[in-house]
A and B are shown apart, each in its own frame.
Chain A
Amino acid sequence: MLVVELISGRTLDQGATVEEKLSEEYSKAVNYIELSEEDFKSLGLKEGDRVKISTEFGSVVVFAKKGEIPKGLAFIPMGPYANAVIDPATDGTGMPQFKGVMAKIEKTEEKVKTVRELLEAI
């Protein structure tokens, strides 16, 4: 188990598939988390492994990837997987905190849900 600061954001793949939300391509574009090489290793992960992200606001299972990102920080593409765990508080601005949420990451054997299953689970 590892605690990281989670940020979400756009990627080219997410943008290129955003008008095809029910496709497998879109799901693939947004259903992963990028961890630093060090954090990736410390969890004993290999490419394609799944991790469970848990925050105060929910949990979600995604694929783990190594990314060019500082240790202790993790990136997840914006979308339904990210939104299962980000902070919905807007501090009066209307904007939830999509970036900067503390998250627990652990290796899991649970499966990655489809976007339909994610919606059903809400």
Chain B
Amino acid sequence: MEDVICTFCGSVCDDGEFDAEKKKVKKFCRLGSAKFSEKERIKAPMVDGKEVSYETAIEKAAEILVNAKKPLLYGWASTANEAIRLGVILAEKLRGVYDQCASVCHAPGTLAVIEEGLPGATLGSVKNRADVVVFWGSNPAEAHPRHGMRYSISAKGLLIKDRKQRKVVVFDVRPTKTAKMADLFIQVKPGYDYAVISALRAILSGNADVVPSEVGGVAKEKLLQLAEMMKNAKYGAIFYGLGVTQSRGRDRNVENAIKLIQLLNRTTRWIIWPMRGHYNVVGAGEVPAWEVGYQYAIDFSRGYPRFSPAEFSAVEVLKRKDCDAALIVASDPAAHFPAAAVKHLKQIPVIQIDPFPNMTTLLAKVVIPSAVYGIEAEGTAYRMDGIPLRVKKILETSYWTDEKILEEILKRVEKLKG
């Protein structure tokens, strides 16, 4: 089968070729190939470690959720929009908390966007037009291996025809694999992104004289060189990563970077965009945004949606022990949350819906295996730039989809609640 769509990272490559006999995919990167390779699955639905039918597991899950005062519904980045929509409805019916993986990934960028807006573009536009591309705290060579080849480094575009016509800059605290592909590598001291962005803003607004000889470990000459390169770009793009959102400054770093872009847009064209991680983490934010108005950290305990990441993000809810059950869909918080948050997850009944066994499986009371979108199920996902793509079903399976499982849980929850 041709034009197979990859459901691993946010690049959502749509040009794979799948050999159904060998069960192998061609053209994809190492991450995509691993996604399409056969691996251990959760064999059957389980309650307390004992195999049961889908119906029994769903009944138990609904019972746990209805009996909880405030369940946490978390995950959603590696599933389809159709399932996420049901998750949001379920959170509202249960008066629980909806939160998603971006909460521990790119959500600080969302806070910045609320303040400043986001001058963005599609990846196609970057491929065709961008003559300067800056990777700030992002490392696509390891996290989005085909991004550079398809869109941002060696991509062959309509106006920018090849690598020679494109300047690539990398900002990072260490010489990453992506840094080795760059024309200019700028090594920043950890936690100094905000200061470096401020220095660039000062230079570009004609106040270079106030910038000291070194900012955040970067020599002023290098900043002057970069500012010149940015100013002279016909079309520039900053792709920022977790180096910006997960270190000191978090959302304020992104906000400052957007202000830098606004300044550049007075004289030329620049865009800024996050390098989203999971294939549908954009959907995990967009779907609740078009359903109830917010992207993450949404509390329904008063019967209407409230947004407050300081209170309702999964990590804060768990640290505060402010949920008494959890439904985890397509995610593994037991592996990816700080120990202080995992502690409470171990104390409450957890329902997991996932194709693969992971650390959350080890602590879950109810485990419901599901089909893999893009391989065993079709559905809609948003690529990192917000372009919706219909991911395909290329193999038959007896596993239920997340959508079907959630639909059945929702039906039973509605019945139990009367």
Question: Using a CB–CB distance below 8 Å, which chain A residues touch chain B?
Answer: 5, 7-12, 15-17, 19-23, 57-58, 67-70, 73, 75, 78-80, 83-84, 86-88, 90-100, 115-116, 119, 122
Contact = CB atoms under 8 A, between A and B. Distances in A.
Nearest to B335: A80
Interface in B1-55: 8-9, 30-31, 33-35, 39-40
A107 B339 CA distance: 23
A9 B242 contact: yes
Given A73-B190, A115-B359, A94 B341 contact: no
B173 A73 contact: yes
Tell which of A9, A11, A84, A94 has the most Cβ of chain B within 10 Å. Answer: A94
Interface in B329-364: 332, 334-343, 346, 355-359, 361-363
Given A94-B107, A96-B338, 13 more contacts: A9-B243, A15-B143, A21-B332, A21-B358, A68-B175, A80-B334, A83-B339, A88-B338, A90-B310, A95-B107, A96-B337, A119-B342, A119-B359
Tell which of B242, B334, B339 has the most Cβ of chain A within 10 Å. Answer: B339
A69 B248 CA distance: 19
Contacts of A116: 362
B250 A79 contact: no
Contacts of A68: 174-175
Question: Main SS of chain A's interface residues?
Answer: loop
Contact of B346 (A10, A20, A93, A122): A122
B246 A94 contact: no
A119 B334 contact: yes
A20 B174 contact: no
A94 B310 contact: yes
Given A12-B142, A95-B107, A95-B246, A57 B335 contact: no
A94 B296 contact: yes
Interface in B310-335: 310, 313-316, 319, 332, 334-335
Nearest to A6: B190
B403 interface: no
Given A94-B316, A122-B346, A22 B243 contact: no
Contacts of B336: 78-79, 83
Nearest to B340: A88
Contacts of B34: 15-17, 19
Contact of B337 (A15, A22, A83, A97): A83
Interface in B355-377: 355-359, 361-363
A23 B363 contact: no
A88 B248 contact: no
B103 A95 contact: yes
A97 to B, nearest CB: 7
B40 A5 contact: no
A95 B362 contact: no
